């Protein structure tokens, strides 16, 4: 969750600058461009993340420990994705 600078760099280099252009790109490609993040027990990190979520709205938050076993995080991602799409 503490990779704010890296997410900022990815947004600048890989995604359109405004929400309308991003929506057109997602519609054209059939893809959603999101950061998939597991929620940690650290309340300060969660509060910081919630601010970033409100500002950018490009996150999929999973109810799984941030540094939990990667296969469980991947499984949670697929379950949420299947339910949404």
Mean pLDDT of the chain: 85
Q: pLDDT tens digit string along 19-76? A: 889 889 989 998 888 888 888 788 888 899 899 999 988 898 888 776 667 788 888 8
pLDDT at residue 22, rounded to an integer: 87
3-state SS string for the chain: CCCHHHHHHHHHHHCCCCHHHHHHHHHHHCCCCCEEEECCCCHHHHHHHHHHHHHHCCEEEECCCCCCCHHHHHHHHHHHHHHHC
């Amino acid at each position: 969750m503490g990779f704010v600078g890296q997410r900022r760099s990815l947004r600048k280099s890989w995604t359109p600058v405004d929400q309308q252009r991003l929506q057109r790109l997602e519609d054209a490609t059939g893809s959603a461009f999101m950061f998939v993040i597991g929620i940690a027990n650290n309340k300060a990190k969660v509060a910081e993340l919630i601010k970033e979520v409100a500002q950018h709205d490009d996150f999929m938050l999973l109810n799984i420990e941030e540094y939990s076993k990667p296969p469980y995080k991947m499984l949670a991602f697929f379950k949420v994705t299947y339910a949404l799409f």
